[in-house]
Amino acid sequence: MRLYTEMKETVVRRLTTFPKVAMILGSGLGYLTEQFEEPLAIDYREIPGFPTATVEGHSGRLVFGTFQGLPVVAMEGRFHFYEGHRIEDVSSPIYLFKELGVSNLLITNASGGINRSFSPGDIVAVTDIINFGFRNPLRGENDRRYGPRFPDMSEIIDFAWLKVLKSRLEKAKIDLKEGTYCWTLGPSYETPAEIRAFEFFGADLVGMSTVPEVIAARHCGIKLLVLSCVTNMASGILKEKLTHADVVKTANRIRPKFTAVVQHAVESIKETEQ
């Protein structure tokens, strides 16, 4: 699509190395880019056709650099449908990554825990998704250069990548849970009745992002891993009020653990390629 080529051209003018790995950093998780060597930040407003990030905890920059010895790019802040973006704009960064030659994408988010065995501060590898946002970024004409009209969704993540990550984390004694993420539109948090319904349908986590990005990544064939930070128990479970300030606070509290898990996730890419 012309738009993605234009985005790429603008970005490429500033780059010396093309990224191999891309990351989307969820609410309060943008601090990860502090670990990048030789960082280069490009404001979303400089990229033609790129939406702007409006949510607190999402600073709105693409940060390039080296992380664990690999060339990477991270979105400090993502686009949510509830911000008023068109659904195809929410997923547009994925196609920019594809144009840049990215092979592996790590999507992260903050979420509410529905599964009672989860606690705030847990990190969960998302192994499946439920689209209760009822929007699909592939609606409209299909651009066959990126992928098929009807992409398969039977395995949303790269399980070989997850397997290596799990074995590394086990050795490092870092806990990683697994679960299904359910997307709701937001921006209001869910009601307790909605959470009971999502639980009935098999959801372990609830959040307001990620699913459009996953669909786009599957469409264009980028290897994917999804890590969710449980920032709170979902509505009604603990009888407490939910606030975005608390979401960002918990994401910050687990900074060392989250950073370590992402380091292992990127190291794992090297092992899956051996």
Ligand X SMILES: O=P(O)(O)O[C@@H]1C[C@H](O)[C@@H](CO)O1
Tokens of 134: 């009822």
Whether 228 contacts 114, CB under 8 Å: no
> Has 209 been labeled as part of a binding site?
yes
Rounded to a whole number of angstroms, the minimum distance from the CB of residue 245 to ligand X is: 9
Secondary structure percentages of the chain, helix, strand, coil, to 5: 35, 25, 40
Whether 58 sits among the annotated catalytic residues: the reply is: yes
- Residue 8 or residue 78: which is nearer to ligand X going by CB? 78
Whether 82 sits among the annotated catalytic residues: the reply is: yes
> Has 190 been labeled as part of a binding site?
yes
Sign of CA dihedral 120, 126, 131, 135: positive
> Has 167 been labeled as part of a binding site?
no
Distance CA 204, CA 206 (A): 7
Residue nearest ligand HPA by beta-carbon distance: 112
Whether 219 sits among the annotated catalytic residues: the reply is: no
DSSP 57-126: T---EEEEEEETTEEEEEEES---GGGT--HHHHTHHHHHHHHHT--EEEEEEEEEE-STT--TT-EEEE
Tokens of 88: 């195809």
Distance CA 104, CA 123 (A): 20
Whether 92 contacts 1, CB under 8 Å: no
Q: Which of ligand X, ligand HPA, none does residue 19 bind (CB under 5 to 8 Å by kind)?
A: none
> Has 196 been labeled as part of a binding site?
no
Site residues for ligand HPA per CB under 6 A? 110-112, 189-190, 206-208, 231-232, 234, 242, 247
Distance CA 257, CA 32 (A): 11
- Nearest CA among 149, 139, 161 for reference residue 227: 161
Site residues for ligand X per CB under 6 A? 26-27, 55, 78, 80, 109-110, 186, 207-209, 244, 247
Rounded to a whole number of angstroms, the minimum distance from the CB of residue 146 to ligand X is: 24
Rounded to a whole number of angstroms, the minimum distance from the CB of residue 129 to ligand HPA is: 14
Whether 153 sits among the annotated catalytic residues: the reply is: no
> Has 27 been labeled as part of a binding site?
yes
Whether 154 sits among the annotated catalytic residues: the reply is: no
Rounded to a whole number of angstroms, the minimum distance from the CB of residue 234 to ligand X is: 12
Q: Which of ligand X, ligand HPA, none does residue 92 bind (CB under 5 to 8 Å by kind)?
A: none
Q: Which of ligand HPA, ligand X, none does residue 78 bind (CB under 5 to 8 Å by kind)?
A: ligand X
Q: Any idea which residues carry the catalytic annotation?
A: 27, 58, 80, 82-83, 110, 208-209, 232, 244
Q: Indicate the annotated binding residues for phosphate.
A: 27, 58, 78-80, 110, 209
